[in-house]
Amino acid sequence: MFHRWTHHLFAALLTLLLAAQVHALTPQEAQAIAAGETDARITALNQAILNADGKTTEFIQALADDAVKVTATHVFIVRDDKGFDPVTGAEVKVPDDAEDVINNNLMRGALDTAQAALNLFSPDRQVRAAAVQVLLKEPDASRLPIIEKAIGAETDEKIKVQLTVALATTRLASDDKAQRLQAATELGHSRSPDIKLLLNQRLQEETEADVKAALQASLKSIDANLVWGERLGVIFSGISLGSILLLVALGLAITYGLMGVINMAHGELMMIGAYATYVVQGLFQKYLPGAFDWYLIAAIPVAFMASALMGMVLERGVIRFLYGRPLETLLATWGISLILMQLVRSIFGAQNVAVENPAWMSGGLMVLPNLILPWNRLFIILFAGMVLLGVAWIIGKTRLGLFVRGVTQNRPIASCMGVNTARIDTYAFALGSGIAGLAGCALSQVGNVGPDLGQSYIVDSFLVVVLGGVGQLAGTVYAALGLGILNKLLEGWAGAVLAKIAVLLFIVVFIQKRPQGIFAVKGREA
């Protein structure tokens, strides 16, 4: 009990001490901040915020809003065509000769950092945290007293740590060599890319040899701390690319892997799914603006059905007559792909269209200071996993999947058992086409949608299916993720173009050594 009362008493004394340091804004301070040379104004501004009261805060906000007029002797805040005295807050008449206060970019930067410094004492934790980030990016030695004051008053340990870093970055800009040396050493423990940038900037300006050495040592330490974030970022980018390739290849795993149809229009079926998502977005914007954030949920089944119906039409109208003739099928579907692209250009135009992310897919998850995982990419990875599980369930556990596997393995026997093979072909092709539509829906969340959307992925998707093993879903998964990660690793080493070439050469060599792919189709031995 005694310790509790002691704690409360200490807090009360600290509050009184801080309150005693606060003084009201004076007319001389207001005049010095509003008029004169920029450097002198900034000096007066920095001095005023050290012991600022509410009127000082309001005045700085008015300056930032360009709502201040000045004469040779007086300063006025103008709101709603009314003038107010910045010191007393009383309404006053603004003289006709009063001129608008002009703030150049340097002054605006000083006002922003001044507001951030004042926000360090806000009761709102988020406001204080945001203020610290502003001060970290704009270090100024004149802010040292107020940052030290904020550290003493801060109760949140995480923000206090950030304030300590802000204090070190501010000391880095000091004229005192000892303070710069201490700050350079302390900042070596940071894991922030922003701090690395500040140290590099200071290294270019620093003239003292021992401070330079400390800066270089800290930069090496930060690089060592950031390396795992960079590595994990590359792996995540690879998994993200692999999940997209998986979505694209899953449809081909059915149409080509199981049915043996070389469908060169598979990319255009993806494009149809993407444009279906765009149409649903437009309908929600026009008729259901309040529910816009949920348009993607409605777009998923629409994209599937649009592509599935188009696939059904293609199978019934063209492909059915070309089974067992791979060259003719390839040429026919290639021609269909050109027709579909031109049809889309005629309806939606040749220019790309933008599909917006819902609010819940915007931003990202910060794992490390230099590693942010975008929500839209995380959604695609999760979505690809759900589609994979759905396809595996359909192929392995449903009546349709049983019939598809039966027709694929032995069409005459399946027909003798009463299976309508023609209908099963149509259903299977529609399923593969619908999955392509789902891939297009997902791709619309990471880039613009255009008539040539599918052309960027069709070759890679065929490579995934062939590499994984024809008709093998597990192989498709391994191949998609493996190629995605390998491609991103090689990009960081050799560049995007050479990485593509290296991956293609790897696949060619692999297929030469193992034509059946990663997983071979199991068969009976005679």
Domain co-membership, 246 together with 196: no
Domain co-membership, 170 together with 96: yes
Domain co-membership, 193 together with 298: no
Domain co-membership, 197 together with 234: no
Confidence label for 240 from pLDDT (cuts 50, 70 and 90): confident
Residue 214: how many CB atoms within 10 A of its CB? 23
Predicted local distance difference test score (pLDDT) of residue 52 = 73
In a domain, 525, yes or no: no
Least confident of 133-137, 269-273, 320-324: 133-137
Domain co-membership, 172 together with 257: no
Domain co-membership, 159 together with 257: no
Domain co-membership, 198 together with 253: no
Residue 518: how many CB atoms within 10 A of its CB? 17
Q: What is the DSSP string of 145-192?
A: HHHHHHHHH---HHHHHHHHHHHHHHHHT-S-HHHHHHHHHHGGG---
Least confident of 351-365, 412-426, 492-506: 492-506
Domain co-membership, 176 together with 294: no
Predicted local distance difference test score (pLDDT) of residue 51 = 72
Confidence label for 491 from pLDDT (cuts 50, 70 and 90): confident
Q: What is the mean pLDDT of residues 390-395?
A: 88
Euclidean distance between CA atoms 93 and 82, whole angstroms? 8
Euclidean distance between CA atoms 231 and 375, whole angstroms? 19
In a domain, 208, yes or no: no
In a domain, 221, yes or no: no
Tally of domains within the chain: 2
Which of 74-78, 112-116, 135-139, 150-154 has the largest mean confidence? 74-78
Confidence label for 525 from pLDDT (cuts 50, 70 and 90): very low
Predicted local distance difference test score (pLDDT) of residue 437 = 92
Euclidean distance between CA atoms 376 and 382, whole angstroms? 10
Q: In angstroms, what CA-CA distances link 13 with 1, 4, 18, 50?
A: 19, 14, 9, 19
Domain co-membership, 179 together with 242: no
pLDDT at 522 over 60: no
Average pLDDT, the chain: 80
Q: What is the mean pLDDT of residues 77-99?
A: 85
The answer to whether 453 and 210 are in contact (CB under 8 A) is: no
In a domain, 85, yes or no: yes
The answer to whether 195 and 165 are in contact (CB under 8 A) is: yes
In a domain, 214, yes or no: no
Confidence label for 139 from pLDDT (cuts 50, 70 and 90): confident
Predicted local distance difference test score (pLDDT) of residue 480 = 84
Euclidean distance between CA atoms 54 and 24, whole angstroms? 8
- Reference 215, options 226, 229, 201; nearest CA is 201
Q: In angstroms, what CA-CA distances link 358 with 84, 365, 412, 453, 478?
A: 44, 16, 49, 21, 30
Predicted local distance difference test score (pLDDT) of residue 306 = 94
Structural domain containing residue 253:
230-513
Query: pTM value?
Result: 0.68
The answer to whether 46 and 113 are in contact (CB under 8 A) is: no
Q: What is the mean pLDDT of residues 54-68?
A: 84
Residue 37: how many CB atoms within 10 A of its CB? 8
Which residue matches tokens 């501010």?
170
Euclidean distance between CA atoms 485 and 77, whole angstroms? 59
Better pLDDT: 172 or 354: 354
The last residue of one of the domains, among 202, 221, 255, is 202
In a domain, 521, yes or no: no
Euclidean distance between CA atoms 196 and 188, whole angstroms? 9
The answer to whether 92 and 85 are in contact (CB under 8 A) is: yes
Sign of CA dihedral 34, 38, 39, 45: positive
Condensed to tens digits (0 to 9), the pLDDT of residues 432-465 reads: 899 999 999 998 888 788 888 888 777 778 788 7
Domain co-membership, 362 together with 486: yes
Predicted local distance difference test score (pLDDT) of residue 280 = 94
The residues, ordered by sequence, that sit 6+ positions from 374 with a Cβ below 8 Å of its Cβ are 363, 364
Domain co-membership, 112 together with 255: no
Sign of CA dihedral 64, 46, 160, 219: positive
Task: Label each residue of 478-505 as H, E or C.
Answer: HHHHHHHHHHHHHHHHHCHHHHHHHHHH
pLDDT at 104 over 90: no
CATH of residue 308: 1.10.3470
pLDDT at 216 over 60: yes
Confidence label for 225 from pLDDT (cuts 50, 70 and 90): confident
In a domain, 210, yes or no: no
In a domain, 519, yes or no: no
What are the φ and ψ backbone dihedral angles of 80, each rounded to 5 degrees? 55, 45
Predicted local distance difference test score (pLDDT) of residue 19 = 39
Domain co-membership, 259 together with 318: yes
- Residue 49 token pair: 């915020």
Confidence label for 1 from pLDDT (cuts 50, 70 and 90): very low
The answer to whether 233 and 420 are in contact (CB under 8 A) is: no
